[in-house]
Structure 1
Amino acid sequence: MESTKPWLHKIRASESFVVIVVTIAIFTDVFIYGMVVPIIPVALVERVGAREEDAQYWVSVLLAVYGATLLIGSPLFGWFADHSRYRKLPFVIGLLALGASTLLFIVARSMVLLIIARGLQGFSAAGVWVVGLAIVVDNVPPERVGEAMGQTTIGMTWGFLLGPTIGGIMYERLGFYGTFMIPVALIALDVILRFAIIEVPRTAQNSGPTFNSQAIDSQADAYNTIIRPESQSPQARNTCTGIEQHCDEQTSLLRSSTPCARPPRLGKQKHATIFSLLKSPRLPLACMATIVMAVITAALETTIPLYVMETFGWSSGGAGLIFVASSIPSFAGVLIGRFIDRIGVRIPAALAFSASACAWILMRLVNKNTTADIILLTALLFILGLAVVTVEVTAMTEASQVVGDYEIENPGAFGEKSPVAQTYALFNMAFAGGQLLGPILAGAMRVRAGWAAMTLVLGVLCAVTAVPIGLFSGAWPKRVEVEAERDG
């Protein structure tokens, strides 16, 4: 009945709208996260009363707290999302944590409140990334998941690009309180959009995680081999026809091929779990790549603002603007995603880590306040930004492919609760581990061993990571192989 459908139902339940909402949610989270990066070193001294010589230490502590709560919140949101009737509920809970975090940043005049605010921000990020990416996978066909993940990096790009830049400039022009006008407006928009999503109950979808038409076709073929229509009674055939008709209606609504009812299986079958996916090297390697990528990102955020202030004599505005160089390459996320959908993740990921290794090692040459050094730093940050977005898209795509490919090889292995959100929880936990380790590693090395030693160690870390990624990470997606076999 068309009249009973919610307002703008077709748009609000569409694939495009879901991707847009998740992208804006990621943008809001990353923008607010990045906005405080150039502000914190100054706010620590002026508002909290920390000593200037201790600023690097407290910046590292706050970033580590963010990583710790992201690490704790990711499995909680993953389990909650996979066992909820609606994924939108944990998605909104993450938004509430972001609002509370922003409020605490505004009123904080003690180190304790700043730590709590940064912790809530990490908890919010867990909800955005784990639940948001799971919602994308639910609503996007598998052959376009890489492209969709690339589209979400646009939100991340603008967040990293505008967050530090606008944060630093607004802090200088409008003061501390004026800086938070834009975050408050973004949170208000995010509230409207997250509630606007129309999500079909998980039970109606039979908790199907992905648009895995090949897996469904293989299940149907296997089922028809055991029980053929000609061997069924008229009543049984009528029942199956009714189920198929109902599934077709659900498929049209969801724009997916996820069945509303699975064919019955003979005997008892023990369902696979998230731990079954870890037996293959693909998911552990994706997590390892994510950890190193997060270490790179956190190291940049921890050391670059203070380093350019000290080396080039820049203000917080200049420290924010330098991140433009590392954010611009993320606009290529969609193209990278399409490329990965065609050839797999192995080559792009290995090249990204190799380029990161060269960039970090060369960054030790930036040590004087000269135009040449500024240009060199800008170019190296651009390379690192391109490498980071490539690794992010490959890791996010690999996480979704691991679940879908396992179901192709083992039809019905997960029963009615596929662990797609828990898989992204592992991805997020890996990122959180890097966010926790990165500030500690980079901050401590820069203080105790110096800038040159820090950049050398991070370069070697990237070079070492490129080896197993290039040798053992996922090759061509199983879906491509299945399609090739069927078309042949």
Structure 2
Amino acid sequence: MPRRLVTLVSAIVLVDTMFYAVVAPLLPALTDDLHLSKAAAGLLAGAYPAGTLLGSLPSGLLASRTGPRATVLVGLTLLAGSTLVFGFAHDIVLLDLARFVQGLGGACSWAGGLAWLVASAPAERRGELIGTALGWAIGGALFGPVLGALADATAPEVVFSSVVVFAGGLVAWALTMPEAAPVARQGLADVRVALARSDVRIAMWLVTLPALAFGVLGVLGPLRLDHFGFSSAAVAGTYLVAAGVEALVSPFVGRLSDRHGRLAPIRRGLAVAAGLLLLVTVPASGVVLALLLVLLAASFGLFWAPAMALLTDVADATGLALGFAFALVNLAWAAGQVVGSGLGGEAAKLTGDGVPLAVVAAACGVTLAALGRGAVVREVAAAG
């Protein structure tokens, strides 16, 4: 496999997640400046994954019809334009729309980029390569809050304009790379065939669940830290450390899942996360809460590479093209993020923060119990 392609795809997902994660330290300031409720803050946080949700299957169709490279170019163009608007907007509707279009661009970048990468790799290295790309993506999540804090402290217009430079450089680089080998054209009927299989649905749920958790924590975490007096820089620092832990975990866990099966690290992550989620409302100190958020990032970090690799494994078993396989990854991730952001915003407003956190903890516990059933394990393992 060309090292240049691994580096290019890693850089694409890094830039995408960097501008996805930029909103976390800005959320308290935007909430104050625009007088947002928790529900409105949750809507802003959820606008990006909503765009990814609606763009997931169209991005897979685009990758199937035009190829992964063209899909990546569309994604980078949408990302650049929408992030520029976000930097200059001072109206919540425009901010929501800009984040939504960012999500559409992210759907194209991920479906095209990862399909391009995995199509060039042997199946036995799939988890490792997805983990490597995820490590870079999480590196973007490391720098995103830093950019957000910098934008809050200086001029958002200048900081967000930098995306045009990043995206333009990646477009030029992508144009120098050869396109992936052509595959048979597929359509939404092929996706319906894949979704009829229970192993595909199980794998999708294992991508959805950590996204659901991060959607809840992405809203409640910054607001609870703000309640304890954390500045935008301190919130950014918390998420910086959390993303750093995830970035270290993902490549290692991806290799582990190639050698010992996809479900082993997922089970461990479920067990730890279920307990930690119930403790988020307990700390009377912002420092303790920040530590809990970092530990939660590590536990859910055990999911990403194995769950995504598993989903592509079981999609392969149906003959589904890789562009559509990663479209299902996008669909599963975005559904979890959208529901999680709404749960963290609206449900917390109505019931308090503990209820949505308990719901996600219960989902982890039920999933762990289901994965302990022999029939489920055999079905997923056989497809993978």
Normalising by structure 2, report the TM-score. Answer: 0.91
Partner of 1:398: 310
Partner of 1:451: 353
Q: Does 1:135 align with 2:116?
A: yes
Shift of 1:139: 0.7
Per the alignment, do residues 393 and 201 of structure 1 end up closer, same or farther by CA in structure 2, a change over 3 Å counting? Answer: closer
Q: Is the 8 A contact 1:169 1:316 kept in 2?
A: no
Residue ranges of structure 2 left out of the alignment (5+ in a row): none
SS class of match (2:303):
helix
Shift of 1:292: 1.4
CA deviation string 1:416-446 (max 9, x = no partner): xx42211221221111111111111111232
**Following the alignment from structure 1 to structure 2, what is the Cα–Cα distance between the partners of residues 389 and 129?**
18
Shift of 1:70: 1.0
Decide which of 257, 278, 292 is 1:340's aligned counterpart. 257
SS class of match (2:178):
coil
Shift of 1:478: 6.6
Matches within 5 A, 1:466-485: 466-471=368-373, 472-473=376-377, 476=381
Q: Is the 8 A contact 2:111 2:330 kept in 1?
A: yes
Q: Is the 8 A contact 2:120 2:180 kept in 1?
A: no
Decide which of 316, 325, 332 is 2:241's aligned counterpart. 325
Partner of 2:159: 179
Per the alignment, do residues 169 and 360 of structure 1 end up closer, same or farther by CA in structure 2, a change over 3 Å counting? Answer: same
CA deviation string 1:431-485 (max 9, x = no partner): 1111111111111232222233333222222212222234325655678xxxxxx
**Following the alignment from structure 2 to structure 1, what is the Cα–Cα distance between the partners of residues 185 and 299?**
33
**Following the alignment from structure 1 to structure 2, what is the Cα–Cα distance between the partners of residues 45 and 71?**
28
Q: Does 1:351 align with 2:268?
A: yes
Q: Does 1:112 align with 2:93?
A: yes
Matched residue count: 378
SS class of match (2:24):
coil
Partner of 2:206: 289
The structure richer in helix per residue is 2
Q: Does 1:19 align with 2:1?
A: no
Per the alignment, do residues 352 and 115 of structure 1 end up closer, same or farther by CA in structure 2, a change over 3 Å counting? Answer: same
Shift of 1:186: 2.4
Partner of 1:440: 342
Shift of 1:399: 1.9
CA deviation string 1:262-294 (max 9, x = no partner): xxxxxxxxxx93333334432101111222111
SS class of match (1:109):
coil
Per the alignment, do residues 403 and 440 of structure 1 end up closer, same or farther by CA in structure 2, a change over 3 Å counting? Answer: closer
Matches within 5 A, 1:30-109: 30-43=17-30, 45-46=32-33, 50-51=34-35, 54-84=36-66, 86-109=67-90
Q: Does 1:29 align with 2:16?
A: yes
Partner of 1:273: 190
Matches within 5 A, 1:151-166: 151-166=132-147
Q: Which amino acid aligns with 1:80?
A: L
Normalising by structure 1, report the TM-score. Answer: 0.72
Q: Is the 8 A contact 1:15 1:140 kept in 2?
A: no
Q: Which amino acid aligns with 2:167?
A: I
Q: Does 1:363 align with 2:280?
A: yes
Partner of 2:366: 464
Q: Is the 8 A contact 1:347 1:470 kept in 2?
A: no
Q: Which amino acid aligns with 2:301?
A: V
**Following the alignment from structure 1 to structure 2, what is the Cα–Cα distance between the partners of residues 334 and 182?**
28
Decide which of 154, 166, 174 is 1:194's aligned counterpart. 174
* Amino-acid identity (%): 25
Per the alignment, do residues 40 and 478 of structure 1 end up closer, same or farther by CA in structure 2, a change over 3 Å counting? Answer: closer
Matches within 5 A, 1:412-423: 414=319, 418-423=320-325
Matches within 5 A, 1:217-228: none
Q: Is the 8 A contact 2:53 2:331 kept in 1?
A: yes
CA deviation string 1:77-101 (max 9, x = no partner): 10121122x3211110011110111
Residue ranges of structure 1 left out of the alignment (5+ in a row): 1-13, 210-271, 407-413, 480-488
**Following the alignment from structure 2 to structure 1, what is the Cα–Cα distance between the partners of residues 180 and 212?**
37
Q: Is the 8 A contact 1:343 1:475 kept in 2?
A: no
Q: Is the 8 A contact 1:289 1:395 kept in 2?
A: yes
**Following the alignment from structure 1 to structure 2, what is the Cα–Cα distance between the partners of residues 301 and 201?**
38
Q: Is the 8 A contact 2:216 2:357 kept in 1?
A: no
Q: Which amino acid aligns with 1:34?
A: A
Q: Which runs of 4+ in 1 moved over 4 A?
A: 206-209, 473-479
CA deviation string 1:183-230 (max 9, x = no partner): 34322332233223211551xxx5499xxxxxxxxxxxxxxxxxxxxx
Q: Which amino acid aligns with 2:244?
A: I
Shift of 1:400: 2.0
Q: Which amino acid aligns with 2:7?
A: I
Structure whose alpha-carbon radius of gyration is higher? 1
Q: What value does the CA root-mean-square deviation take over the aligned residues? A: 2.3
* Higher alpha-carbon deviation: 89-98 or 317-326: 317-326
Shift of 1:297: 1.0
SS class of match (1:198):
coil
SS class of match (1:426):
helix
Q: Is the 8 A contact 1:303 1:442 kept in 2?
A: yes
Shift of 1:106: 1.9
* Higher alpha-carbon deviation: 324-333 or 181-190: 181-190
CA deviation string 1:93-117 (max 9, x = no partner): 0111101111111221222211210
Q: Is the 8 A contact 2:314 2:380 kept in 1?
A: no
